[in-house]
Structure 1
Amino acid sequence: MTPEADKQEEIMKVKINGKSHVKPSKKLGRRECRLVTFDLPYIALHYNQKLLVYKGNEYEDMVGKLKDGLGAVLEDFYQLAGKLAKDEDWVFSVEYDDDTEGVEVVEANAEWINVEDLDAEVGASTLKELIPYNGILNSEGLHRPLLSVQLTKLKDGLAMGLAFNHAILDGTSTWHFMSSWAQICSGLPSVTVMPFLDRTKVRNTKVKLHHPPPDQDPQNASSNGTADAEHVDPPLRERVFKFSESAIDKIKSKVNSDPPPDGSKPFSTFQSLAVHMWRHVTQARQLKPEDYTVFTVFANCRQRVDPPMPESYFGNLIQAIFTVTSAGLLTMNPPEFGASMIQKAIEMHDAKAIEERNKQFERSPKIFRFKDAGVNCVSVGSSPRFPVYEVDFGWGKPETVRSGINNKFDGMVYLYRGKSGGRSIDAEISLEAGAMERLEKDEEFVLEVK
């Protein structure tokens, strides 16, 4: 067995020591807020998982501080301490009352693992025992906590695994909560930016959302035995590609070297990196020139809706934006061809387009499935704008930030601000194993990230 395999075997032996629940520190009474059109498509996806790894040798003190801070921050972010509910018409809401269990906190031990063992390039499957709620659907929030936190004692630190119910919040809200929790733990008397909790201010349409139970959900078919026995998805591999500031500048300069003649504005850092990944992943997949390929990005709509919502809006306020072309056109044209398509699709997704998307969903509600991201897709979630390496609870910034195994599929990409800061970006990419092997050997791609 290789050293890497030995290490993975060790990680699989994480010992659960106990489980407790944390509620808001003071009684709040009964609160209820209906889920809105922006929330509902994610009911049948899995809980959104994150992992933050910290150095430190005072595990008990760290856990105590985290629990105390969690109780305090939940006074303002109380929806995370609630449960999902649905009425007789299948209208979903998030409810909280003082008798609700609250946030689940699991304490675990893996003292034979060093912080450095959890290097950012380790596959998410290796890390899964450090993060709760693997394979759990958001619809299970009817019966489970909406946030579960696993605090695992390492040899020289703490691994904080989190599972957030994606039906009640997106990435912007996730990191707003995490930053606020860290502020409280670091000694601030209150949250500096209060969450905007009234979802009906952005959409006030009641939507009846019938969805199949988990054992009838096609998304789960491959894991519960109901799938076609002849169809087996190829194994996925995950890797984090670290783009330094100089690599990002080089990619952006190359894409902007021949500006479009129509006077379009320069391509952004995101658009430049996006087309770089889209082109090289498409090549690694060895698609035929006539095969379609789709680029999907989940865009923050807080400033796109009319009227605009504050960045502190708590909930889901994202929509998927799709760009499609043939593999031949994408890879045989210069990178500005694909970048221009991505730029135009993002610019066109204005308040009018968002309104039409919402009306379409309300006429015929459709929960989101992985396959809806598009054929031969590269689908980007998370954002390098999120302050993931600034989440300091009082013992330093995280050494590693990762996502878990949930909501991973061929072509899924999570972008994080690089640990080195500045303009650096980490791209966590999941691909079919053969395509990943070819991507790693693609000198034009890998050269950029050295």
Structure 2
Amino acid sequence: MAAELGKKEEILKVKVTNKTHVKPNKKIGKKECQLVTFDLPYLAFYYNQKLLFYKGAEYEEMVKKLKEGLEVVLVEFYQLAGKLGKDEEGVFRVEYGDEMEGVEVVEAASEEICVADLAVEEGTSALKDLIPYNGILNLEGIHRPLLALQLTKLKDGLAIGCAFNHAILDGTSTWHFMSSWAEICNGSKSISAEPFLDRTQARNTRVKLDLSPPPSNGDASSNAKADPNLRERVFRFSEAAIDKIKSTINANAPSDGSKPFSTFQSLSVHIWRHVTKARHLKPEDYTVFTVFADCRKRVDPPMPDTYFGNLIQAVFTVTAAGLLSANSPEFGASMIQKAIEAHNSKAIDERNKEWEKSPKIFEFKDAGVNCVAVGSSPRFRVYEVDFGWGKPEGVRSGSNNRFDGMVYLYQGKSGGRSIDVEISLEAPTMEKLEKDESFVLIGN
């Protein structure tokens, strides 16, 4: 497998053929939008990268349609065409002006590689050259576009690599934008759900931060030295496998009157327990489960699903590795369930106040010791992003913001309740997880 992947990576030679910028196709004027407490902790994360690849032979027509659709959708999502800035008091904000360059769009070609080569279950390093802004910090959005795209011609299709500045939007907003862009490209005159752009409705505390971006002429890639010992792999859980995991864990649900375990809670504890087992931790070693929870319906007052920005918070729960493995799966699932349910508007408000008193800029790997950290969501309809030439053949995350224990959940390619689980682990741990039949066989 390793030799095969290495061969594919050698084949993957990407040649940049054009670089342009795309702006909204209407004059919008000068706009400013304050970043709020939900946004600011992510300034020292890296740009959030996504890759979608499609079958299709008409590359030039596809690129033309994508650019024209982008000009239209950016009228509503103009913040993505802006830059980061600070007001006179040092409060970070998104700034937009008609004179700005807009979204960076790179056109490229890698015609020796097929769509099928990108659908492999292992590795993101082979995908790296198809996605822009590797190792670029969100803070660099002061002098870089907040969205960069790379449209790469493949032997039998097109790869769309996206880099979104994570300081200005989360996963829900990312896929709202992507689906809206696809709507326009697919012939709609307008998008079906306009973004809700006033972040101060969710939190209006002005937090001043003394942060400066790295020198623009510095080696950005040095910010994200990849761990050579880290492996990434996609495990595909069929609808039947998901149903089996969920029904098994709910067969022995607690008798304390708590709710049945959700699909998310059931799959999460399955991953957490098996990863912890593969790590061969001592019984007394702590292990943390972290989920980046959507707070749109948890804040008071609730925000609309179309709220554009970050409205997530990390929810943690921790136990000893020995307790997690010695007890039944319901033990860990109950911990996850209780932590998520306890994260109500009061808890969110207290977390915000605590952060505002002593702001801490997170690094992307600050998710906890021996952690399993879950981002993205199978609720995002990633396989419905159809620009007019069919659904994507695959959807992947890029190499940014990866660390030992990072998990991305995606809607499964096979549809229904299937879920694709993208995991990054140290190589020895990944090897043990792959050999764990109770994890692997149920997922394939």
TM-score (norm 2): 0.97
Alignment of 1:300 with 2:294, yes or no, is yes
Alignment of 1:211 with 2:211, yes or no, is yes
Alignment of 1:358 with 2:359, yes or no, is no
Give 1:400-439 correspondences, 5 Å limit.
400-439=394-433
Counterpart selection for 2:308 from 310, 314, 324: 314
Which residue does the alignment assign to 1:397?
391
Which residue does the alignment assign to 1:60?
60
* C-alpha contact (below 8 Å) 2:90/2:208 kept by paired residues: yes
Amino acid in structure 2 at the alignment position of 1:104: E
Change (3 A) 1:446 1:381: same
Change (3 A) 1:267 1:365: same
Question: Partners of 2:378 and 2:336 in 1: how far apart?
Answer: 17
Which residue does the alignment assign to 1:179?
179
Question: Partners of 1:134 and 1:7 in 2: how far apart?
Answer: 20
Deviations 1:94-127 (CA, angstroms, capped at 9, x unpaired): 0101001000000000011111111141311110
Amino acid in structure 1 at the alignment position of 2:320: S
In the TM superposition, residue 166 of structure 1 has moved relative to its aligned partner by 0.2
Amino acid in structure 1 at the alignment position of 2:114: N
Amino acid in structure 2 at the alignment position of 1:349: H
Alignment of 1:113 with 2:107, yes or no, is no
Using the aligned pairs only, state the percent identity: 73
Give 1:148-297 correspondences, 5 Å limit.
148-211=148-211, 213-214=213-214, 223=222, 235-297=229-291
In the TM superposition, residue 213 of structure 1 has moved relative to its aligned partner by 4.7
Question: Partners of 1:213 and 1:150 in 2: how far apart?
Answer: 24
Question: Partners of 1:134 and 1:371 in 2: how far apart?
Answer: 16
Which residue does the alignment assign to 2:7?
6
In the TM superposition, residue 273 of structure 1 has moved relative to its aligned partner by 0.2
User: RMSD value over aligned CA atoms?
Assistant: 1.7
Question: Partners of 2:179 and 2:251 in 1: how far apart?
Answer: 38
Which residue does the alignment assign to 1:388?
382
Which sits farther off after the overlay, 60-69 or 80-89? 80-89
Question: Partners of 1:221 and 1:434 in 2: how far apart?
Answer: 29
Counterpart selection for 1:370 from 360, 364, 369: 364
Question: Partners of 1:71 and 1:263 in 2: how far apart?
Answer: 52
* C-alpha contact (below 8 Å) 1:120/1:402 kept by paired residues: no
Amino acid in structure 2 at the alignment position of 1:5: G
In structure 1, the residue corresponding to 2:44 is in which secondary structure?
Answer: coil
In structure 1, the residue corresponding to 2:362 is in which secondary structure?
Answer: coil
Which residue does the alignment assign to 1:98?
98
Count of residue correspondences:
440
Which residue does the alignment assign to 2:323?
329
Change (3 A) 1:128 1:21: same
In structure 1, the residue corresponding to 2:313 is in which secondary structure?
Answer: strand
Amino acid in structure 2 at the alignment position of 1:10: I
Which residue does the alignment assign to 1:79?
79
Amino acid in structure 1 at the alignment position of 2:205: T
Which residue does the alignment assign to 1:338?
332
Deviations 1:239-271 (CA, angstroms, capped at 9, x unpaired): 000000000011111111111010111000000
In the TM superposition, residue 233 of structure 1 has moved relative to its aligned partner by 5.6
Change (3 A) 1:283 1:234: farther
Change (3 A) 1:437 1:305: same
Give 1:38-57 correspondences, 5 Å limit.
38-57=38-57
Change (3 A) 1:389 1:95: same
Q: Which structure 1 segments of 5+ residues have no match?
A: none
Question: Partners of 1:296 and 1:270 in 2: how far apart?
Answer: 13
Deviations 1:384-428 (CA, angstroms, capped at 9, x unpaired): 000100000000000000000000000000000001111000000
* C-alpha contact (below 8 Å) 2:139/2:212 kept by paired residues: no
In the TM superposition, residue 2 of structure 1 has moved relative to its aligned partner by 3.3
